[in-house]
Amino acid sequence: MFFGSGKGIDIIQINGNFGNIDQVVINRNNARGMNLKATVARGFTQGNGTLWSVDFNRVLLFPNRIKHVQYSLSTSESFLNHVLRNVSGNRVLVESNVAMPADVYVTIDQGLN
């Protein structure tokens, strides 16, 4: 448990750029008054349309470094085709062939272990 007296400081801060990162996993932390940072995260979005975006920038430790993505799209309407369209800038974009209300659940990791 990290405790920061309500100051909103990241639990982990990086100083500089790393060219090679290996065997790092930061996950399942608790924080009070601090911002969580991790290399593994889960996200959720819902909406009615053909595009769903989940932004992990707030929680991921390393910039622009999602290596593994797993997602599911749930709708009560009918079957629709969907695809993981883009993973960049620590954002995941899922697209479908027709507009429908749907929930999208995403699990990612930064591939450091």
pLDDT tens-digit profile of 12-71?
Answer: 777 777 676 666 777 767 667 767 788 899 999 999 999 999 999 999 988 888 999 999
Contact 53, 92 (CB under 8 A): yes
Confidence of residue 6 (pLDDT cuts 50, 70, 90): low
Q: CA-CA distance, 104 to 40, in Å (whole number)?
A: 17
End-to-end CA distance of the chain: 22
Confidence at residue 94, expressed as pLDDT on a 0 to 100 scale: 97
